[in-house]
Amino acid sequence: MDDNAKSHLSRDPVMKNLIESFCIKEYWGQQPNYFLNLIEIITGQQLSTKAAKIIFARFLALYPNAPTPEDILDTSSDILRSIGFSGSKVSYVKNIAQAIIDDNIKLSDFDNLPDEEITSQLLQVKGIGPWSTEMFLIFTLHRPDVFSLGDLGLRTAIKNLYHISRDDKKAIAALSENWRPYRSHACRLLWMSLEQI
């Protein structure tokens, strides 16, 4: 985390304490294979981190090299279900592959596009919702100012640290505005606070 982010977030006493408690690495998240990162995010939907890692490792083991969208479409749904994907997730990963082949998702442009345009492209694909898009922006593209109101972990951390009900999304959204333009860094600190517990 750079000094500007630390200085800004430290205006919030809770964030200041988290910054002093945790070491935040400048680089984090997935490798720069945006297609596989999207598949990994889909894999993790509504699963524990441990379960998601096991299933994603099985997925990668199906292919001798990093799979392409064409490889995914050529893989039978039965095989994908056999490694732990639900029926809906099989459909979602194939939807992503097809969207890339059809050029509806232009991954090669993402580095130069604003968050809003990336979000607009991704949300057109069935299976990619707001949470998945936010995780992609934070962990894959390393965009600095993303907050995921739909993430239960973040809302739980805020409940623990700020004593705001995790169901009071309006109050949580208002709180997160104090962290602009470094909300992604705030999210990372909040997630780390949960790991400590």
| 30 pLDDT higher than 70 | no
Q: Which residues contact 76 (CB under 8 A, 6 or more apart)?
A: none
- Residue % of the chain over a pLDDT of 70: 96
| 119 pLDDT higher than 70 | yes
pLDDT of the residue at 1: 78
Question: Catalytic annotation on 151?
Answer: yes
Per the structure, the complete domain to which residue 187 belongs is given by: 3-27+147-196
- Identify the DSSP state of 138: I
| 128 pLDDT higher than 80 | yes
Do 164 and 91 lie in a common domain?
Answer: no
Q: Which residues contact 93 (CB under 8 A, 6 or more apart)?
A: 39, 42, 72, 80, 85, 127
Do 128 and 38 lie in a common domain?
Answer: yes
- Identify the DSSP state of 165: -
Do 135 and 59 lie in a common domain?
Answer: yes
Average pLDDT over residues 39-48: 91
Do 45 and 88 lie in a common domain?
Answer: yes
pLDDT of the residue at 47: 85
Average pLDDT over residues 155-170: 97
Domain CATH number, residue 57:
1.10.340.30
Nearest-angstrom CA–CA distance, 115 and 112: 10
Last residue of a domain, one of 140, 168, 186: 140
Number of domains observed in the structure of the chain: 2
| 36 pLDDT higher than 60 | yes
Last residue of a domain, one of 97, 112, 140: 140
| 197 pLDDT higher than 70 | no
Active-site entry in 2, 71, 78, 151: 151
Do 95 and 45 lie in a common domain?
Answer: yes
At 5-29, the pLDDT tens digits run: 999 999 999 999 999 998 776 655 5
Do 79 and 158 lie in a common domain?
Answer: no
DSSP character string of 143-186: -SS---TT-HHHHHHHHHHH---TT-HHHHHHHHHTTTT-HHHH
Do 116 and 81 lie in a common domain?
Answer: yes
Average per-residue pLDDT in the chain? 93
pLDDT of the residue at 31: 60
Do 81 and 125 lie in a common domain?
Answer: yes
| 179 pLDDT higher than 70 | yes
Last residue of a domain, one of 113, 140, 167: 140
Does pTM surpass 0.85?
A: yes
Domain CATH number, residue 179:
1.10.1670.40
Do 182 and 134 lie in a common domain?
Answer: no
Do 15 and 55 lie in a common domain?
Answer: no
Do 136 and 151 lie in a common domain?
Answer: no
Do 42 and 131 lie in a common domain?
Answer: yes
